[in-house]
Amino acid sequence: MTRRGLSETEAKVYIAVRAFHRLDPPRAPTLQEVAGALGWKQPSSVKQYVDELEAAGYVHRRRGRAGIQLGPRPEAEGAPV
C-alpha cells in the first residue's frame, strides 16, 4: 500500500467487501465469499489483502467471527467510493 491510497488489488478487495455491506440486508462477507465475488479460487489470496486493509483501518474482523466488517477509516481518506 502506498501513502497515496490503496493499490489496485486492495481497492478491488475493498469494493467487494463494501458491496456485501450494501446488500439488503447488509452483511459481512467471509474470505471465501470475497474470493468468489472477485473470481479468485483461493480465499487465502484474499486474506493477504484483507490483512493489509485491516492494518490500514479500512476493514476489521472480530475474533471468533468469519465476517469482514468495514472499518472506521472514512472513504474520503483514500478508499474507493
All three cell numbers of 31: 474470505
Half-sphere exposure of residue 9, counting CA atoms within 13 Å on the CB side? 12
Tens of pLDDT, residue by residue over 52-70, are 999 999 999 988 777 999 9
Averaged pLDDT for residues 38-43: 94
User: pLDDT value at position 77?
Assistant: 52
Closest to 13 measured CA to CA, from 25, 43, 4: 43
Closest to 70 measured CA to CA, from 38, 24, 22: 22
Map out the domains of the chain with their CATH numbers: 1-60 (1.10.10.10)
Question: Rounded to whole angstroms, how far apart are CA atoms 3 and 36?
Answer: 29
DSSP symbol at 77: G
